[in-house]
Amino acid sequence: MKGIYRILWKELVQVFRDRKLVFSTLVLPVFLMPVFMFGPSLLLNRLMQGAAEKRQEVAVAGLPEEALSALRQANLAPVAVEDPEGAVREGKYPAGVLYQEGVYRVYARLSGGLTEGQVVAGRVQSALQALKEAKVAEVLARRGMPVEVLQPFRVEVQNASPERERAGGLLGFLLPFFLVVFVLSGGQVVAVDATAGEKEKGTLEALLMAPVPLWQIALGKTLATVVMALLSGVAGLLGLALGGALAARYGGGILTETGQVLDLGGRVVLDGASFVALFLSASLLALFMGAVMVGLGLYARSYKEAQSYLAPLQLVALLPLLFLQFRGFLELETWHHLLPLFNVALLMDALLKGTATPAQAALAWGSTLVYAALALGFSVRVFAREEVVFRN
């Protein structure tokens, strides 16, 4: 068994002496994650706030005085033009309004992502809506009717999620997603270097000459992959936490394509047992994927070929996680907890929300351990195939 430790040590020393690799795998994610996740929303918040507070010019035609007045009250500056739609299309004004036959037509360039025009159009719409409501209230008052007649009852939708589920928010999906992404990318670095890299550099033959069983070599390399994968996962999560802290302080969240900023929930409350369970889940996932990557890496003739095998593996591994978004529509059955990768993602999601059960954890861990053992068996078989080991 000392052979396993020796190989693990050698692989990790080789990796940690490569400063560029350590920087790109373990340091960079900590700082890039906040920038990627929260930077756009923070920037957008500033821009939206600026657009909302700024006195914007609006192209108008045919508007009655009361509408012009409503726009001015909304901190907008109506400018009379002949053709508001044309003026907006040419980019002369962010928004325009045309009043014709009892209809206010608001123009803005609404395609091609979030624009200042959308913000101004919204302000115009709000100003005209307020004017409309004031006029309705005035008519009702003249007829001696209370304004409440327009709203006989209210409808309220309340969030009935348990407190921990509510606190988890979108992180329930994002944490497993990013953990898998970082586990795969961090593990890949060692897996490729320890297999195809050894072949390409000509060091593998010397290692195979050592009086140590093949399974110990495969396991040593897999464990090195697991260590790096977990460290990479921790770096990614640190980046996520750092981003979350910054977002909580300065306001922000995940920016969607429609410009909505999704609230992340902001805090994840984990008790000690859940934290250990989360770590164990990530470790088993890393063991499983590490063994697969070591096997595939050794099968490859070169670095390039190994990367060409592992890039699709990342996509395949992420596919089940995409379905995690739809977990609310699924009635979970036992076999869901046996599906590779999906089972770990489901368990992590449940741990974050405080809904995990011992049976679910046992199924996910047990099945992942079996998959890891099978993958390790695959790696050993690949190591034992001389036409693969010497085919470079």
Partner 1 sequence: MIEVIQLTKRYRTHRAVEGLSFRVNPGEVYALLGPNGAGKTTTLRVLATLVKPTAGTARVAGFDVGEAPLAVRQRLGLVNGGMRVYDRLTGREVLAFFAGFYGLQGQAFRQALDWVTGLLQMEEALDKKVMEMSTGMRQKVVIARAILHRPPVLLLDEATAGLDIFARRALLDFVKAYRDLGNTLVYSTHVMTEAEEVADRVGFLHQGRLVYEGTKTEALALGQGSLERAFIQAVKEAA
Q: Does 6 bind partner 1 (CB under 8 A)?
A: yes
What distance in Å separates the CA atoms of residue 100 and residue 67, rounded to the nearest whole number? 13
Q: Does 210 bind partner 1 (CB under 8 A)?
A: yes
| 38 in Cβ contact with 253 (< 8 Å) | yes
Contact segment (CB under 8 A) with partner 1 among 4-12, 184-192, 236-244, 276-284 equals 4-12
What distance in Å separates the CA atoms of residue 387 and residue 312, rounded to the nearest whole number? 24
Q: Does 12 bind partner 1 (CB under 8 A)?
A: no
Q: Does 387 bind partner 1 (CB under 8 A)?
A: yes
Residue numbers 149-208 binding partner 1 by CB under 8 A: 201-203, 205-206, 208
Phi, psi of 78 (to 5 degrees): -70, 135
Q: Which of 72, 213, 301, 330 binds partner 1 (CB under 8 A)?
A: 213
Residue matched to tokens 């969240």: 253
Residue matched to tokens 């009702």: 140
Contact segment (CB under 8 A) with partner 1 among 3-11, 23-31, 62-70, 309-317 equals 3-11
Non-local (6+) Cβ contacts of 65 within 8 A are: none
Q: Does 209 bind partner 1 (CB under 8 A)?
A: yes
Q: Does 271 bind partner 1 (CB under 8 A)?
A: no
Amino acid at 82: E
What distance in Å separates the CA atoms of residue 34 and residue 249, rounded to the nearest whole number? 13
> Which residue from 32, 33, 40 is spatially nearest to 260, judged by alpha carbons?
40
Q: In this structure, what DSSP letter does residue 180 have?
A: H
Q: Does 18 bind partner 1 (CB under 8 A)?
A: yes
Q: Does 24 bind partner 1 (CB under 8 A)?
A: no
**In the complex, what is the shortest distance from the CB of residue 25 to partner 1, in angstroms, rounded to a whole number?**
15
**In the complex, what is the shortest distance from the CB of residue 373 to partner 1, in angstroms, rounded to a whole number?**
23
Q: Does 389 bind partner 1 (CB under 8 A)?
A: yes
DSSP per-residue codes, 229-244: HHHHHHHHHHHHHHHH
Strands 95-100 and 56-61: parallel
Name which of 144 and 202 has its Cβ closer to partner 1: 202
Name which of 183 and 389 has its Cβ closer to partner 1: 389
**In the complex, what is the shortest distance from the CB of residue 375 to partner 1, in angstroms, rounded to a whole number?**
24
> Which residue from 162, 169, 344, 160 is spatially nearest to 248, judged by alpha carbons?
169
Q: Which of 212, 241, 313, 338 binds partner 1 (CB under 8 A)?
A: 212
Name which of 182 and 383 has its Cβ closer to partner 1: 383
Name which of 254 and 388 has its Cβ closer to partner 1: 388
Q: Which of 13, 43, 47, 316 binds partner 1 (CB under 8 A)?
A: 13
| 324 in Cβ contact with 342 (< 8 Å) | yes
DSSP per-residue codes, 185-209: HHHHHHHHHHTHHHHHHT-HHHHHT
Q: Does 1 bind partner 1 (CB under 8 A)?
A: no
Q: Does 122 bind partner 1 (CB under 8 A)?
A: no
- 11, two tokens: 């692989």
In degrees, to the nearest 5, what angle opens at C-alpha 29 toward C-alphas 24 and 32? 110
| 96 in Cβ contact with 110 (< 8 Å) | no
**In the complex, what is the shortest distance from the CB of residue 308 to partner 1, in angstroms, rounded to a whole number?**
24
Name which of 26 and 127 has its Cβ closer to partner 1: 26
**In the complex, what is the shortest distance from the CB of residue 390 to partner 1, in angstroms, rounded to a whole number?**
7
Q: Does 14 bind partner 1 (CB under 8 A)?
A: yes
Q: Does 301 bind partner 1 (CB under 8 A)?
A: no
Q: What is the dihedral of CA 366, 372, 373, 375, to 10 degrees?
A: 150
**In the complex, what is the shortest distance from the CB of residue 201 to partner 1, in angstroms, rounded to a whole number?**
5
Residue numbers 26-85 binding partner 1 by CB under 8 A: none
Per CB under 8 A, residues contacting partner 1 are: 2-3, 6, 9-10, 13-14, 17-18, 201-203, 205-206, 208-213, 386-387, 389-390
